[in-house]
Amino acid sequence: MSSTKTIGIIGGGQLGQMMAISAIYMGHKVIALDPAADCPASRVAEVIAAPYDDVDALRQLAVRCDVLTYEFENVDADGLDAVVKDGQLPQGTDLLRISQNRIFEKDFLSNKANVPVAPYKVVHSSSDLDGLDLSKNYVLKTATGGYDGHGQVVIRSEENLADACQLADTADCVLEEFVDFNLEISVIVSGNGTDVTVFPVQENIHRNNILSKTIVPARISDELSAQAQAMAVHIAKQLKLSGTLCVEMFATDDAIIVNEIAPRPHNSGHYSIEACDFSQFDTHILGVLGAPLPAIHLHAPAVMLNVLGQHMEKAQAYVRANPSAHLHLYGKLEAKPNRKMGHVTILTADVDSCELIAGDASS
Ligand code: AMP
């Protein structure tokens, strides 16, 4: 059997591009499916330009590739099931369905994986919010379609409750108690169907609901850090995980609470390209190919700063002033505000010094 495979990636954005780069230097060939012929993956891979739900295009990808994977979770799971051959999609579609719907996701996390989640209830309409005890705070989230804080209402008052009722009457939702966390953290874990390997704990700082900065290792106790990694490993084993998964969590003074999972490499794991001996993309490719997985070592503490459309000039200036910073640009043609254009990784423990503009994480 040839050790060179053709890997099909559904989605040719920056995650698809960085997966492809890992696959290519391991000797594989990559074909990406993306609606845009000039998507980031087109810099390094052949692209089939078609909508994600185009079953003929998915079938063409399946016919031409040995193994299929995806770079985002909102893939049409039924469409994929219809075209893949046995064993061709090691990640399967069950995990896709879990992570596409917060009701299934919460059920999986709390009842099957048995990890701590914020107390929650499923809400089908505003009447499920009747008599809500407003001495506590909550977050109402739509079951499907929400991302980066969209489709969410934080409930701290009667006024918020009215907004939440409106949302609850438009879509099935999950109502969670608001967690008074110290830090948001995440853990990347990769599996090959049998074994798993886990990355260090990442601390994530968001601005306007978009990841702004990741600090590794996260500034939490060794004990909490070990708990977070153990939970991620446990979830991965429950799933018989193939490929890379990100587990997003909240850290309080003495507990870790799991928020959500993403069945793919994640923005908060980009630091691993330079700071670890294998990146989250390397282990994703190894994992979906069923290859043995290495233990992960962090070479040095790291900070990752996202470069959004409004940061392009600042990022260029930053790397001119700090030549040991690693600038990644994804090759997106248009720099729109809040669009993820690239990221910068700096190998340092001096986390406060790392901002695209000194003293202003929002810039
Ligand atoms: P999510 O879409 O679930 O990742 O939520 C987006 C952001 O909302 C998270 O990164 C948190 O900052 C915040 N958030 C979500 N759920 C909760 C919660 N139960 N308690 C406090 N903050 C939350």
DSSP designation for 295: P
Which residue is listed with tokens 């299929």? 68
Residue 74, burial from CB neighbour count under 10 angstroms (0-12, 13-18, 19+): middle
Give the domain CATH number at 156: 3.30.1490.20
Nearest to 52 by CA among 79, 30, 27: 79
H/E run at residue 304: strand 302-308
Answer yes or no: is 299 within a domain.
yes
CA–centroid distance, residue 93 to ligand 1 (Å): 25
Answer yes or no: is 134 within a domain.
yes
Answer yes or no: is 106 within a domain.
no
Answer yes or no: is 200 within a domain.
yes
Answer yes or no: is 114 within a domain.
no
Same domain, 205 and 322: yes
Which domain does 33 fall in, by range?
Answer: 6-89
Same domain, 69 and 204: no
User: Which residue lies with its CA nearest to atom 5 of ligand 1?
Assistant: 149
In the numeric block, which tokens belong to residue 142? Answer: 């739509």
Answer yes or no: is 323 within a domain.
yes
Answer yes or no: is 165 within a domain.
yes
CA–centroid distance, residue 163 to ligand 1 (Å): 17
Question: How many Cβ atoms from other residues are within 10 Å of residue 329's Cβ?
Answer: 16
CB 33, CB 11: distance < 8 Å: yes
Pairing of strands 138-142, 173-177: antiparallel
Same domain, 332 and 273: yes
Q: Ligand 1: which atom is nearest the Cα of residue 181?
A: 21
Same domain, 339 and 272: yes
- CA distance linking residue 155 with residue 136, whole number of Å: 9
CB 343, CB 304: distance < 8 Å: yes
pLDDT along the chain (363 residues), means of 10: 88 98 98 97 98 92 96 89 90 94 97 97 96 94 82 91 95 96 98 98 95 97 98 97 98 97 97 98 98 98 97 94 96 95 96 73 44
Q: Ligand 1: which atom is nearest the Cα of residue 176?
A: 19
Give the domain CATH number at 14: 3.40.50.20
pLDDT of residue 281: 98
In the numeric block, which tokens belong to residue 164? Answer: 């939440």
Same domain, 168 and 257: no
Same domain, 129 and 197: no
pLDDT of residue 74: 83
Tens digits of residue pLDDT in 215-268? 999 999 999 999 999 999 999 999 999 999 999 999 999 999 999 999 999 999
DSSP designation for 210: E
Same domain, 24 and 158: no
- CA distance linking residue 228 with residue 247, whole number of Å: 9
The best mutation among 139, 213, 214 to test binding of ligand 1, ranked by most ligand atoms within 8 Å of the C-beta, falls on 139
DSSP designation for 309: G
Same domain, 278 and 316: yes
Q: Ligand 1: which atom is nearest the Cα of residue 178?
A: 20
Same domain, 327 and 298: yes
Tens digits of residue pLDDT in 215-224? 999 999 999 9
Q: Which residues pair with 299 in a beta bridge?
A: none
Q: Ligand 1: which atom is nearest the Cα of residue 118?
A: 19
CB 363, CB 355: distance < 8 Å: yes
Task: Evaluate: CB of 178 within 6 angstroms of ligand 1.
Answer: yes
Same domain, 206 and 68: no
The best mutation among 154, 257, 259, 268 to test binding of ligand 1, ranked by most ligand atoms within 8 Å of the C-beta, falls on 259
SS3 assignment, position 130: coil
Same domain, 220 and 341: yes
Task: Evaluate: CB of 149 within 6 angstroms of ligand 1.
Answer: yes
Answer yes or no: is 98 within a domain.
no
Task: Domain count for the chain, please give it.
Answer: 3
Same domain, 188 and 168: no
DSSP designation for 168: H
